[in-house]
Chain A
Amino acid sequence: MTGLVRSELRKALTTKMAWGMPLAQFVLAAVFAAITGGFLLFVDIPGADGTPIPARELFEDGVLARMTYTGGLQVGYLLALVLGILAMGSEYRHKTLTATFLAEPRRGRVVAAKVVGLSVVVVLNGLAHLAGAVVGGGIMLLLADVPLFPDAGDLAGVMLRLLLVLVLWGLMGLGLGVLLPNQVVALFVGVAFAFLIEPLLSFGITFVDALADAARFFPSQASTAALSVFEGVDPATAQNMGFNPDQLDWWAAALTLLVYAAVMTAVGWVLTRRRDVA
């Protein structure tokens, strides 16, 4: 099994994705953290009663840092999803699955090795993401005279949970890559779902009372909740910022994502075992 995992890691580290993806994570996280930080620290937003006030007066420094550093969460998990899709999709696309299964015909083990290998790769990419976030967001915090790490323990917890969220999105991608063996289609569907359909849908039903509860379990909201980005924030303010104030606890949110990841991985496992490789 260690040999299979090493094989998967070699796959991940011997193409352009090995440096292209972490670079993208670093740059995009830096940009989004800087934009989020700039918005929070230098722009007026509507307060609880609707009158515009500087955002930094609404939040404690700890919350400001947390929100700034996680500003790139959505692009982060989107790229993790892409990595997951590619882990299987590229084997279908380039017909390397034949060689993979000849080396290990017990396909369940191949999927297990992919789960482990992908998790490691996503964590490495996640570290690049965090580094970018600290650089991009840190510049803004410095400019606004907010301490870089107001509550280091809290921030460390948030960052670890961000890595977890990225890994779970990666596993959702892995399953999607098997479900839709045409890699281009899988990428299109995955990105469209994660970036357009799902957020719109989950934002939309926030306004439908009967369904508002369900939106909390959507992947995008669960991801935000898993980082407790809004912990210590007045619910009305969160709503004014366009977020569902009624979020899951971080552990419940993480568990929700885990269920999605497990279901998608199981789908991938079943299909991989049954399919002919021609």
Chain B
Amino acid sequence: MTDAPREGTGISARGLTKTFGPLRAVDNLTFEVRPGRVTGFLGPNGAGKTTTLRMLLGLIRPTSGEALIGGRRYADIDRPMQVVGSALEATGFHPGRSGRDHLRVLAATHGIPDSRVDELLELVGIPAAARKRAGAYSMGMRQRLGLAAGLLGDPQVLLLDEPANGLDPEGIRWMRGFLRHLAQDEGRTVVVSSHLLSEVEQTVDDVVIIANGHLVREGTMDELHGDPAVLVRTRDASALADALVRSGLAVQPEGPAALRVQTGDLARVGDVALAAGQPVYELRALRTDLERLFLDLTEAPEHSNRNRLPEEIDR
């Protein structure tokens, strides 16, 4: 029997640090993953995502700090595949063993029946290929097999390292929908790493962004988007500004004939303009450029990529 809580298993990293010789791959990293949500674990190549996930899973011993899943270290979890599932980068398969047998090998450790193995192969969409030797699998098939392995124990928490890598557009769409299904319909805690914010922005609720082993941002996707704002262009900007302020909205000028209004409600801005007799030439929601923000966060001088050659950094 497992005493693992089915509901509300979160993850916390406290001062996680890992050094490889002179390199601090992960540096005093502290963050929380809230239960029942999809968290994007983001950072450019070499930021330390895989190293961190491996420390969470007890595969790499932290130089200092600790990682807890549902309050316990991974190694202390009884029947861990039923609590945490994961699909890590560079997880291998024996090339001469079929995908199905790979899963059966893992299933045996937890007494999981073959019927569950076949169920998952069906779910990830490789039931036929699974009986062939894994050495002949494409990247996408390997990703799907890895995901099936992570789901074997029907875990409450899923850690997925760049699951979209190597998937075709159809596969990526499938993966997105699948993650949403796991989190929203089934209430699982999902952590999905990526080096592209845009790849996961439609999927995740929260983000943890790291660069060069440091935490640079932690919060909800809404916080990242910032407060909603509207851009309105008109003939007499100051007259419209007065009207908007009178109706209780905060306004800043945005260029000569345009205003930035702190609201997400386009109709309200339009109504105020109509009432004030001001023509509207342009009215649109201002979206935070997340890709820009992500670059700003991760390319800040203090996080400049240590994996680059020095002269490249100077430029």
- Real binding pair: yes
Determine whether A101 belongs to the interface, using a CB cutoff of 8 Å to chain B. Answer: yes
Stretch at the interface among B58-66, B163-171, B240-248: B58-66
| Chain B residues in 8 Å Cβ range of A106 | 75
| Chain A residues in 8 Å Cβ range of B101 | 10, 14
Given contacts A14-B97, A15-B96, A276-B61, is CB(A102)–CB(B105) below 8 Å?
no
- Rounded to whole angstroms, the CA-CA distance of A172 and B58 in the bound complex is 27
Contact check, A278 vs B60: say whether CB atoms are below 8 A apart. Answer: yes
Partner of B59, one of A94, A274, A278: A278
Determine whether A74 belongs to the interface, using a CB cutoff of 8 Å to chain B. Answer: no
Partner of B95, one of A11, A94, A105: A94
Contact check, B60 vs A105: say whether CB atoms are below 8 A apart. Answer: no
Residue in A90, A99, A105, A277 with the greatest tally of chain B CB atoms within 10 Å:
A99
Given contacts A101-B59, A278-B59, is CB(A7)–CB(B106) below 8 Å?
yes
Determine whether B80 belongs to the interface, using a CB cutoff of 8 Å to chain A. Answer: yes
Contact check, A98 vs B88: say whether CB atoms are below 8 A apart. Answer: yes
Partner of A10, one of B92, B95, B104: B104
* Closest partner residue, chain B, to A90 (CB atom): B94
- For B, the interface residue count at a CB cutoff of 8 angstroms equals 33
* Closest partner residue, chain A, to B55 (CB atom): A276
Contact check, A94 vs B105: say whether CB atoms are below 8 A apart. Answer: no
Given contacts A7-B105, A102-B59, is CB(A96)–CB(B80) below 8 Å?
no
Contact check, A7 vs B109: say whether CB atoms are below 8 A apart. Answer: yes
Contact check, A277 vs B96: say whether CB atoms are below 8 A apart. Answer: no
Partner of B60, one of A96, A99, A103, A276: A276
Contact check, B54 vs A278: say whether CB atoms are below 8 A apart. Answer: yes
Determine whether B90 belongs to the interface, using a CB cutoff of 8 Å to chain A. Answer: yes
Within 8 A of A (CB), among B61-110: 61, 74-75, 77, 80-81, 86, 88, 90-98, 101-102, 104-106, 108-110
Partner of A103, one of B61, B80, B98: B80
- Rounded to whole angstroms, the CA-CA distance of A274 and B58 in the bound complex is 11
Partner of A102, one of B86, B95, B96: B86
Determine whether B57 belongs to the interface, using a CB cutoff of 8 Å to chain A. Answer: yes
Given contacts A10-B105, A96-B92, A278-B59, is CB(A102)–CB(B81) below 8 Å?
yes
- Rounded to whole angstroms, the CA-CA distance of A10 and B74 in the bound complex is 25
Determine whether A151 belongs to the interface, using a CB cutoff of 8 Å to chain B. Answer: no
Contact check, A105 vs B58: say whether CB atoms are below 8 A apart. Answer: yes
Contact check, A105 vs B74: say whether CB atoms are below 8 A apart. Answer: yes
Contact check, B94 vs A15: say whether CB atoms are below 8 A apart. Answer: yes
Determine whether B111 belongs to the interface, using a CB cutoff of 8 Å to chain A. Answer: yes
**Min distance, Cβ B79 to any Cβ of chain A, angstroms:** 9
- Rounded to whole angstroms, the CA-CA distance of A76 and B105 in the bound complex is 27
- Rounded to whole angstroms, the CA-CA distance of A4 and B109 in the bound complex is 5
Contact check, A94 vs B80: say whether CB atoms are below 8 A apart. Answer: no
Contact check, B104 vs A103: say whether CB atoms are below 8 A apart. Answer: no
Determine whether B149 belongs to the interface, using a CB cutoff of 8 Å to chain A. Answer: yes
| Chain A residues in 8 Å Cβ range of B96 | 15-16
- Jot down 18 A-B pairs with beta carbons below 8 A, ordered by A: A7-B105, A7-B106, A10-B108, A11-B97, A96-B94, A96-B102, A98-B90, A98-B92, A99-B92, A99-B106, A102-B57, A102-B80, A103-B110, A104-B80, A105-B58, A105-B74, A276-B54, A277-B60
- A interface vs B, CB < 8 Å? 3-4, 6-7, 10-11, 14-16, 90, 94-96, 98-99, 101-106, 274, 276-278
Assuming A10-B108, A274-B61, what are 5 further A-B pairs, CB within 8 angstroms? A6-B109, A10-B101, A10-B105, A99-B92, A99-B106
